[in-house]
Each structure stands twice: as structure tokens, then as C-alpha cells.
Amino acid sequence: MKNILEAKNLVKEYSQTQGFFSRTKNIIRALSHVSISIEKGKTLAVVGESGSGKSTLAKSLIKLIEVDDGSIYFEGVHLNSLTSAELKSTRRNIQMVFQDPYASLNPRMKIKDILEEPLIIHNIDEPSGRQKKIKQMIIRVGLEEDDLKKYPHEFSGGQRQRIGIARALILSPKLVICDEPVSALDVSVQAQIIQLLKSLQKEFELTYLFITHDLRIVRHIADRVFVMKEGELMEQGKTDIIFNNPKTAYTKELLTSIPGNRKLKRNK
């Protein structure tokens, strides 16, 4: 099968009540009939300005939030057709890396416990087997075995994101959804994390959905690009086609906002 995940016509609305006594509700349509296909073994970048619905899309795909309409298929199986036990085992195959690794790592847990938790939840291995997996993984993401005894606050932002990546990969998922994984990091550290993600993808044959508002990164990592605006798909296509021949004014705007990419604007 070529597509590992397909979603059709996703709709998600948030309602916000204004004021404590007010009955007026603001409806925000965060996803408006969005369909997306993620090709196995490839990297699909989802781009768009802040508030365009990227994180809502990511969370919908792994059922962290329920959509109001639409269907999601993982390896051809409709997620709503699964029992809760089947959904749990499917979830093992879809993991997420978040923007802010500090907020997503429990400050009171040692790294070894943070990495062991998903293994325990999914009943994987005996304690000794789990320890072996954890040690291999911490080294694979560029940290040391000694780091397992430490707490999240003892690490830099980049190191914490390495831990976030280790936690996502410890379950050997097939699809990893990265929601702005380097946006909170310094540019030099961003490059290292992108390199790490690329080498892990090769080694473990991962599929990535890579969400970012920063198009500089897209060129380095993505095979295809999916452009969102105000909850809708604007255009999608192969990375070089989106970069060299964007169809919509919105995508052109996103591209010209890349530092050092001003020439594009002047030449057109």
C-alpha cells in the first residue's frame, strides 16, 4: 500500500463562549473539509501561518481530538471501525513529537522513566528488555546512558527535543507526526535536530508528517508540501514544484517571507 494514512473531508469546529454570562458563541472552523494522504516512507510537510489549523489537523489524525466530520484510514483501516484495544495498538504506530519538549516532558520524572512509560502502557517487553531498548535509544538520539538518571530541566532545549524524539521512537512507530519540532530552538540546533530526524527516518524506515510555519526547513526535509490557510488546503505538490512554481498568492507570500529569499519576489 502506497499511502500509510489517508483522511477525507475532515471538519473540526471549536466553539468559544464569549464572557461568563454571555450565550453568544464564536464558532471557529479550524478544519474545513480537509483531505490528506501521507505516502509511506516519505516526508509530507504541512505549512501555513499561525492559526491555519496545522496542529488541529495533527491532533485529529491521531485522535487526540475528535473531528466533527470526515474519516481517517491508517493502513487502509477506518479508525472509527476499531475497538478500543485495536485503536490502542494502532496508536503505537503513530507517534508525535511536539514543539515544546519541556512542556511535553514531565518535570518530575527521570528520563529513564519518561522513556519506559510508553513501553509499559503498551505492555512491551520485560523490565530487562525495556532497559536495553531505553539505553540503545538514548544513545541513538545523541545523548549518553548517564543522562537517563537526570530530569528534564538538566538539559538544553535541543537535548530535550532529542529526548522527545527518543520517547516517540521507543515504540517503533511507522508514522511520526512532528508538530513544529524545531521552532523553539536556535537555528544551529535546528539543523542538528533536522539531521537527526533524517537519519532516523532512513534507519527505521519512518514516514513523517512534518508541520512547520518555517519554509526554510521544508526544502531540507520534505518530499511533498501541503499548504494550509484558515483551515483549508490551498495547494499541494512535490516540494520543488511548490517552491519553483507556487500556484496561489498565499504560497508565494509564504515563500517570499523566507529570509534571504527576497529575490524571488523581485524577479516575479
Ligand X SMILES: Nc1ncnc2c1ncn2[C@@H]1O[C@H](COP(=O)(O)OP(=O)(O)O)[C@@H](O)[C@H]1O
Q: Which residues bind Mg ion (CB under 5 A)?
A: 55
The nearer residue to ligand X, 29 or 130, going by C-beta atoms, is 29
Report the candidate in 139, 137, 57, 48 with the shortest Cα–Cα distance to residue 96.
57
Q: Which is nearer to Mg ion, 177 or 197 (CB)?
A: 177
Residue of minimal Cβ distance to Mg ion? 55
Tell me: does residue 181 bind ligand X (CB under 6 A): no
- Quick one: 101 or 152, whose CB is closer to ligand X? 101
- By CB under 6 A, which span of 46-54, 186-194, 232-240, 242-250 interacts with ligand X? 46-54
Angstrom distances, CA of residue 222 to CA of 38, 45, 142: 12, 6, 23
Residues 113-142 touching ligand X, rule: CB under 6 A, are none
189 φ, ψ (degrees, to nearest 5): -75, -35
Q: Report what 51 binds from Mg ion, ligand X, none; CB cut-off 5-8 Å by kind.
A: ligand X
Contacts of 153 (CB under 8 A, 6+ apart): 102, 107
Q: Which does 48 bind (CB under 5 to 8 A by kind): ligand X, Mg ion, none?
A: ligand X
Q: Stretches 52-60, 120-128, 142-150, 182-190: which one binds ligand X (CB under 6 A)?
A: 52-60
How many chain residues interact with ligand X (CB under 6 A)?
12
Contacts of 20 by beta carbon, 8 Å cutoff, 6+ apart: none
Which of 250, 244, 238 is closest to 213 using CA atoms?
Answer: 250
Q: Are 143 and 163 in contact (CB under 8 A)?
A: yes
The residue ranges that bind ligand X (CB under 6 A) are: 14, 16, 28, 30, 48, 50-56
